[in-house]
Amino acid sequence: MPKLVIEGGKSLKGEIKLQGAKNSVLPILAATILSEEESVIHGCPNLSDVAITVEILNFLGCKTKFEGESLIINPKNINKNKIPEMYMRKMRSSIIFLGALISRMGCAEISLPGGCELGPRPLDLHFSGLRQLGMISEESHGKIKCNVGRGLVGNNIVLSFPSVGATENLILSAVKAKGETIITNAAREPEIQDLANYLNKCGAKIRGAGEGTIKIEGVDRLQGAHYSIIPDRIAAITYMAATAVTSGDILINRVYPEHLSSVIPIFEECGCIIEIFDKGKLRLIAPERLLSNAVIRTMPYPGFPTDAQPPIMTMLCAAEGSSIIIENIFESRYKHVGELLRLGADIKVEGRTAIVNGVKRLSGADVRAEDLRGAAALVVAGLCAEGTTKISGLRHIDRGYEDIEGNLCKIGANIKRI
C-alpha cells in the first residue's frame, strides 16, 4: 500500500505554482460535450478525478488527447448516453454529466453516485431543478433513466440551498434549452463563474454567474473554445497552511487572492503576514509560533469554504489558544479528527462543532486518510509533527492534489512516497 512518509519540522521556503482548479476542470470537461466542435482546455491538473472524467469522455465517444497541461477534446462523434456504474461509483462528481448529456443527447442513463465519505449527499436539488426544465426521470434497479421529451424549456428555478453541483447541472441543461432560465439562490463559487466563462466563450448566453441570480438565454448551438482553468483556491489554502505550521515563507504563483478573501483573515489572525502582488502572486510569511482564538463557520461562497476546513483545523491545532469550527455544509466532515488525535492534537467534536485547543507540538505517527481534504489535513500535520508521519489512503489525495510531494519537496519538505 503506497504511503507518504514525512519527516516533520522542516521550514517550508520557496515558490510554488498553483495547479488548475479541480472543481472547475471537472464540470468544464463535462461541458465540452455540449458542442460538436473541438475544445482545448489549458491548465488541466494531473489528478485521478481528471483521469476518470477523461475515461468517461472517451467512453461516450469523444476523442481526447493531452498535450502537456492542455487537454484536447473532440466530442463530434459521441454515440452513448449512459454512464456506467463503475464511473458513477468512482467519482461522485460524475453526476455533472447528467446535465451535459441531456443537453447534448436528449436522454441519459446514470446510476446513483457511490457512497460518499462526507455523509449523505442527496441529489434532490439537481433533480427537481432539471424536472422544472422539462427532464423526465424514472428510477428502477439502481438506474435512473432521463429524457427531455420534445426538448428542455427555460424556467424560473429557485434553489432552497445554493448547491454547487445542482447549479452546474442546471447551467449545463439550460444553455441550449428554449427560452430563458433564471436560477435564484444559485451557488456563487468561482468555479461556477469559470464554467459560465467557458460556455460563454463557446457562444452561450449566461449572465450573473458568480452572483446569486443567474440568467441564461438558451442558444441553438455552441462552438468549441480554447479555455484556461482558474487556479485551485483550495490547493492554495493547503500550501498556505503547510507554510504557516512550519514557520515558513512561500510565494504562490498564479493565485487569485480575491478567491481567498474569507480565509486570508484567519491566517492573519494567527500571526501570518500576507502580501499580495500584481500578476497573481501571494506571499505568506509565518511567525515562529501561531496564535489563534478563531471562530470559523463553513458557509457557501463567499463564506469560509468547507473544503478548507480540514487543513485549517490542523493549523489551529498547532496554534497557541483555543479555536472553534462549526461545519455547516457537510455532516461527516470530521473524519480527519481521529487521525489528528493520534498525532497528539487536542480536539473535541460535538455534532457540527469542533473545539480545537492548540498544542505545543504534534508528534509523528501512522495515520490513514479517509477523504480528500482530510488527507490534506494529515499532510499539513505531518509537516510540523516531530519525527516521522506515515499517511496511507493516498487515493484520496491523488484525486485533488497534483504531485503534492514533489511540490512540497521543492520548498524544503522532507516527504516521499513509498
Could you say whether residue 188 binds ligand UD1 (CB under 6 A)? no
Chain residue at closest Cβ approach to ligand UD1: 165
Could you say whether residue 165 binds ligand UD1 (CB under 6 A)? yes
Q: How far is Cα 173 from Cα 98, in angstroms, rounded to an integer? A: 9
Could you say whether residue 161 binds ligand UD1 (CB under 6 A)? yes
Rounded to a whole number of angstroms, the CA Rg of the chain reads 21
Could you say whether residue 166 binds ligand UD1 (CB under 6 A)? yes
How many residues belong to the site for ligand UD1 (CB under 6 A)? 20
CB of 131 to ligand UD1, least distance (A): 12
Q: Which cell is 100 given?
A: 451535459
Could you say whether residue 356 binds ligand UD1 (CB under 6 A)? no
**C-alpha distances in Å from residue 134, one per residue of 33, 205, 216, 317:** 20, 20, 16, 49
Question: With respect to ligand UD1, which residue has the nearer C-beta, 125 or 381?
Answer: 125
Question: With respect to ligand UD1, which residue has the nearer C-beta, 52 or 319?
Answer: 52
- Cβ atoms of residues 164 and 196 within 8 Å: no
Question: With respect to ligand UD1, which residue has the nearer C-beta, 197 or 306?
Answer: 306
Residue environment code for 100-122, b if the CB has 16+ CB neighbours within 10 A, otherwise e: bbbbbbbbbbbbebeeebbeebe
Could you say whether residue 90 binds ligand UD1 (CB under 6 A)? no
Question: With respect to ligand UD1, which residue has the nearer C-beta, 98 or 365?
Answer: 98
Contact letters for ligand UD1, residues 105-144 (x by CB under 6 A):
----------------xxxxxx------------------
Q: How far is Cα 187 from Cα 68, in angstroms, rounded to an integer? A: 32
Q: How far is Cα 1 from Cα 47, in angstroms, rounded to an integer? A: 19
Q: How far is Cα 239 from Cα 407, in angstroms, rounded to an integer? A: 9
CB of 164 to ligand UD1, least distance (A): 4
Q: Catalytic annotation on 146? A: no
- Counting Cβ atoms within 10 Å, is residue 258 exposed (0-12), middle (13-18) or buried (19+)? exposed
Q: Which residues are catalytic?
A: 116
Interface positions with ligand UD1 (CB under 6 A):
23, 26, 93, 121-126, 161, 163-166, 187, 191, 306-307, 329-330
